[in-house]
Structure 1
Amino acid sequence: MMKRLNELLTRVLQWLTTIATDKYQHYAIGAALGAVALVAMKLLWLLMRQIEALSQVSPAVERWTTLAASVIVVYAAAIIKERKVDAQSDVTDIVATVLGGSTVWVVFLIG
């Protein structure tokens, strides 16, 4: 049993080392941007709740607009970086960035 587990772990680690370092970096940036955008929107909603006209907004509206803002930030950053900053656009970098953001979004939706 231990031998099989060791073999499985070795295979997983070998597979992980085939992934380019920049993909891990894109993933981390996507997660960081997604989290910062979520926190910023939650703070903005705290401020907006002080305005009487917005104090009765549904928690569902707050939740989904917060999530939408985070998604937009991550997608926009990924696309702008790949299309405007880099000389050669790489779709897999965009995917890695969005996957990083999606990790944060899943946690936000569950929590």
Structure 2
Amino acid sequence: MSETPTDLPHPAKDELRLETVLFALSDPARLDIVRQLADGPLEMARCHLTDPDIPKSTKSHLMKVLREAGIILNLPKGRGRVLSIRREELDERFPGLLDAVLNAP
């Protein structure tokens, strides 16, 4: 994907690796973030963690792992950022994986 100074790097669809995606989704806090995004994009500030005492730096790291794995898009919007799941690319690359993970108890 192209980058401008405010863009963060995201892997291309053909660079998505199953083990990286599964690792990113294996953490309960990261999985919770992805579940929040399942209904559509959210401003990063509106994405919350189940533990409100988790530092902002930890939240940023969780988002970074998800972005670098290719699970979410983290795009600039004004002074904030908007997060969304890369559902179409993930479904093309790993059919059924995202639904299986998101619908697991």
Q: Normalization by structure 2: what TM-score?
A: 0.31
Say which structure, 1 or 2, has more relative contact order (CA 8 Å, 6+ apart): 1
Q: Normalization by structure 1: what TM-score?
A: 0.30
Question: Which has the larger share of strand?
Answer: 2
Question: Which has the larger share of helix?
Answer: 1
* The structure with more radius of gyration: 1
